[in-house]
A and B are shown apart, each in its own frame.
Chain A
Amino acid sequence: MSEFKRRRFLKTSAAVAAGAAAGPLIWVKDASAQWSNTPEKGAKLRVLRWKRFVQGDEDQYLANVKKFSEKYGVEVRVDAEGWEDVRPKAAVAANTGAGPDIILSTNDDANLYPEKLLDVTDVCTYLGKKYGGFYPVCDPYLRPNGKNWIGVPLGVAGVCMVYRESHMKAAGFSTFPRDTDGFLKLCKALKEKGTPPGFALGNATGDGNTFCQWLVWAFGGKLVDANNKVVIDSPETIRALEYAKELYPTFVPGTLAWLDPNNNKAFLDEQISLTNNGISIYYAAKTSKDPKVGALAADINHSNMPIGPAGKPTEFQLFFNQMIFKHSKYPKAAKEFIRFMMEEEQFGPWMQASIGYVTQPLVAYEKNPIWTVDPKHTPYRDAMKIMRPIGYAGRLGYASAGAAADFIVVNMIAEAASGSKTPAEAAERAQKRAERYYKV
C-alpha cells in the first residue's frame, strides 16, 4: 500500500518538477520523431521578421534566439520591419540572391519564388511527427507539390469577431449568432440601439481581406476553382453581395476608407461595438493605462466568424511562414534555428508571451494554456484549423498574390455594399479583373 503510494508520489512529483522545468508538456510526443543535424561551424545567421504586434512576442522571441545562440554558438541577428514591408524585401532577396538567410513573411510569398527557397522537408516532417502534424491549410501555402516543404509554417494572426458583450445583450442576443442570418439581425439591432458595427472595406490588407473573403466564401462563392479558372461571377457571390448590401447601412460611416488600424481605434473609443480583428484590441484594453479603456476589457468578447449557407467555417487568416533562402551560406544552421524555435520549449512560452496573437500551426500546441487561461482567448485557438488560403480554391502563386494585392474581392464587396455598382456589375467586374491575373 505504502509502496504504491510512494511510487505514485514520486511519479507525480517528478512530473511536477519536469513540468515546472520545461513548461506544460501535457501531450504525448511521438518518441520516434528523429532529428539529427549539426550547424556549420562559425555560422552566422541573419533573420528578418515582421515587427511584433505585441511587445511580449518580441521579448520572448529574442530570449529564444539568445538561447539558441548560446546552445549552438551560432550568432544570430534579428531585424524586424513592418509586416507589409517585409514582403517586398523578401521578394528582393529572392530576386537578387542576397540578403537575410531566414525570412518570416506572410501569406503566399513562398509561392512567388519557390525555386529560390531551401527544401525543408526534413524539418517539417520531424516537427509534424513530433507535434501531431501541421494543419491541412499549410499544404497549399508551403507544400505546393504535396511532397516537398518550401518553408516552415509559423502560424497565423488569428482574426475573430470582437464585440461588446453588454451591447450585444442590449440588442437582444444572449450569445453571438453562429449563422449569417443571425449575424445580419444582430448588426441591424446594434445599429438601432446606437452601438453600430464597423468592418473595414477600404484597402486594408489584413482586416479588409479577412472580412471580405469570409463573406464571399460563407455563401459558397470563390475566386477560382481547383483548376485556377476564375469563377467569382456566380449566383453564390451575388447572394453574398446582396447580403453585404443589407449589412452596409448598419456600419458607421467611413468604412470604405478604413485601413487596418481604423477599427481598432474606433472600437477602443467605443464608436463601434462589433468588428473583426486579432486579439490586439482585447490586449490593448487589458493593458491600457486609461481607466475608461481598461474597463472595456471586461466587456469585450470574441467569437469565430459566423457560418453561412456554405455550411462550414470559411475563414481567412493572415498566414505566417518561415523561409530559408538557397543563397544562405549556412543552411544547416538555418534549419537548426527554425527547428529549435518551433520546439515546445521555445514555441510554447512564445505563444503565451504573445498572449495568443499568433495561433499555432501544429496540432499539439492546441493544448497550450494560453487558450484556456482566459476563456476569451479560446476562439482564436482554432483559427488555423478552420481557415482557407486566400487563393481558394485554386493553387497559390503569382496570380493569387496579384489578385489579393489588387484588392479585387474587397473592392467588389465595397462597390456592391455602397451601391456604387449593382451586385451583378460588381461581380462581373471582379471576374474581368481576376481573369487578367489568372490568364493561362
Chain B
Amino acid sequence: MRVAAALRRCGARARCRQRTYAAATEGDVRASVSRLLDNRNALGLLFLLPAGALLLLFLTYPLGLGVWLGFTDTKIGRGGAWVGLENYEFLFGDAVARLSLFNTLFYTVVASVIKFALGLWLALLLNKHVPFKTVVRAVVLLPFIVPTALSAIAFWWIYDAQFSVISWTLTELGLIDRYIDFLGDPWNARLSTIAANIWRGVPFVAICLLAGLQTISPSYYEAASLDGATPWQQFRYVTLPLLTPIIAVVMTFSVLFTFTDFQLIYVLTRGGPLNATHLMATLSFQRAIPGGALGEGAALAVSMVPFLLAAILFSYFGLQRRAWQQGGAD
C-alpha cells in the first residue's frame, strides 16, 4: 500500500524510482510487519506466545516427561531404561493399584453426584431474594477458600476415633454409646473422606451454578407461569436446559478436581486403612517418592489421563450450544 502510494507520489521519475525502490524494500519489510500486525491471526498468535511459553514449560514438558517416565523403570537416585508397557502391565495386575482405581471412581462418582445435587439446590436457594444476600454468598464460599490442608487437619480431629467432637456430641445426647470409628473401618473411611470432600467442594459448584442461574432471563419464568407451569415444570423445562452449558463446565472442573484429589486423603488417612482410601494420586505418590519407584508412580499417574479425558469429552458434548437454546429448531 505504502509502496504504491510512494510510487504514485513520485510518478515515474527515475530518481524517485530509485528512492522508491530503496523505500520499497524497507517499506516492504515495514509493510509486511504492519500487515502482520493487522492480521488478526498473526496478532493473536503473538499475544498467545508468553502464555504459551509458560504452559509449554510448566505443563507440556512435565506432562511429556511424566508420560515418558511411565515407560521406564526410573528410580529416585538413578536413571532408568526403557521398559515399554511393563509398568502398566504390573499395575494392571497389582491388587492395590486396582483397589485405588475402584476407590478413585467410587470417590469421584459419589462425591460429584452429591456435590452437584447440593450445589444446585444451594444455588437455587441463593438465587432467591434472601436477607444479607451478599454476606450469605460470601460465607457459603468459605469452605472452598480455606486451604485444603488446614480443613483436612480439622477433619482429622473431627474424625478421630478417640477425640471426635461428633462422637462426643452424639454420646452426650445419648444417641450412641461407643465413639464412631470414622477412619478405622474401610467403608467408614471412604464415606468420611467423601463427606469431607463434599463439604469442601459444594461452594464451588453452588457459586458457579448461581452465576448461571442469574443469566436466565426472568421473562422465561414469567412466560412459563403464564402458561400454567408448576415450579417443578419451570425448573425442568426452563432452568435445566438453559443451565446445561454451565453445568457441563462446572461439573467437568469438579470431577477433575475430585478425581485427582491428593491433599485431603494424604492428611486424613495416608491412603489407609488397608489401602481403602488410596486414590490413584496418593498411591502414585507413595510408590514414586518414599518408595523410590518413579517410573511406576508416573505410570500410575498417567493412567488417570484416559478417565479425565473421558470426563472432558463428556462435558464438551454437553457444552455444545443447541439450536433450540437460541430459538431455532433442534
Interfacial chain A residues near B161, Cβ < 8 Å: 252-255, 257
Expressed in whole angstroms, the minimum distance between the Cβ of B96 and any Cβ of chain A is: 7
**In the complex, chain A residues 387-439 whose Cβ is within 8 Å of any chain B Cβ:** 398, 401-402, 405-406, 411, 414-415, 418, 420, 429, 432-433, 436
Q: Which residues of A are interface residues toward B (Cβ below 8 A)? A: 84, 87-88, 91-92, 94-95, 112-113, 115-116, 201-203, 205, 252-259, 262, 265-266, 269, 271, 398, 401-402, 405-406, 411, 414-415, 418, 420, 429, 432-433, 436
Any chain A CB within 8 A of the CB of B290? yes
CB-CB nearest in chain A for B95: A429
Cβ of B162 and Cβ of A271 under 8 Å apart?
yes
Contact A112 B292 (CB under 8 A): yes
Min CB gap B262→A, angstroms? 14
Contacts of B76 in A (CB 8 A): 88, 91-92, 94-95, 112-113
B residues with a Cβ closer than 8 A to A are 75-78, 90, 94-96, 160-163, 178-179, 181-186, 189, 269-275, 286-287, 289-293
Say whether B290 contacts A87, CB under 8 Å: yes
A414/B181 in contact, CB under 8 A? no
* Nearest CB in chain B to that of A84: its residue: B290
Write the chain B residue with the least CB distance to A111. Answer: B77
Q: A259-B270, A402-B293, A411-B275 are in contact. Are A269 and B75 (CB under 8 A)?
A: no
With CB as the reference atom, state the residue of chain A lying closest to B157.
A265
User: In the complex, what distance in Å separates the CA atom of A258 from the CA atom of B78?
Assistant: 33
Given A406-B291, A436-B90, does the pair A202, B286 have CB atoms closer than 8 Å? no
Flag if A398 contacts B181 (CB, 8 Å): no
- Are B274 and A256 interface neighbours, CB within 8 A? yes
Q: Using known A-B contacts A88-B76, A112-B76, A269-B162, determine if residue A401 contacts B94 with beta carbons closer than 8 Å.
A: no
Q: How far is the CB of B321 from chain A (nearest CB, A)?
A: 47
B270 and A202 contact, CB distance less than 8 A: yes
Taking a contact as CB atoms closer than 8 A, the residue among A115, A254, A405 that contacts B162 in the complex is A254
A-B contact count (CB 8 A): 115
Closest to B78 in A: A113
In the complex, the chain B residue whose C-beta lies closest to that of A198 is: B162
Whether B290 lies near A257 (C-beta < 8 A) is no
Given contacts A91-B76, A253-B181, whether A420 and B94 have CB atoms under 8 Å apart is no
**B91 smallest CB distance to A (angstroms):** 10
The answer to whether B269 touches A203, judged by C-beta atoms less than 8 angstroms apart, is yes
A398 touches B270 (CB 8 A): no
B183 touching A254 by the CB < 8 A rule? yes
Which of A88, A411, A433 makes the CB contact (< 8 A) with B274?
A: A411
Using known A-B contacts A252-B161, A265-B162, A398-B293, determine if residue A203 contacts B181 with beta carbons closer than 8 Å. Answer: no
Closest 9 CB pairs of A and B: A254-B161, A113-B77, A257-B183, A256-B273, A405-B291, A405-B290, A91-B76, A254-B184, A203-B270
A202-B273, A203-B271 known; A256-B185 Cβ under 8 A: yes
Which residues of B are found within 8 Å of A203, using beta-carbon distances? 269-272
Residues in B neighbouring A262, C-beta threshold 8 A: 160, 162
Instruction: Please name 17 further chain A to chain B contacts, defined as beta carbons within 8 Å, in addition to the given A91-B292, A398-B293, A402-B287, sorted by A numbering.
Output: A87-B289, A202-B273, A253-B181, A258-B184, A266-B162, A269-B162, A405-B290, A405-B291, A406-B286, A411-B274, A415-B274, A418-B273, A418-B274, A420-B186, A432-B95, A433-B94, A436-B90
Among the interface residues A203, A266, A411, which one has the most CB atoms of the partner chain B within 10 A?
A203
- Which of A88, A95, A253, A415 is B179 in contact with, Cβ under 8 Å? A253
A81 to B185, CA, bound (A): 32
Among the listed A116, A253, A406, which residue makes an inter-chain contact with B287, where contact means beta carbons less than 8 Å apart? A406
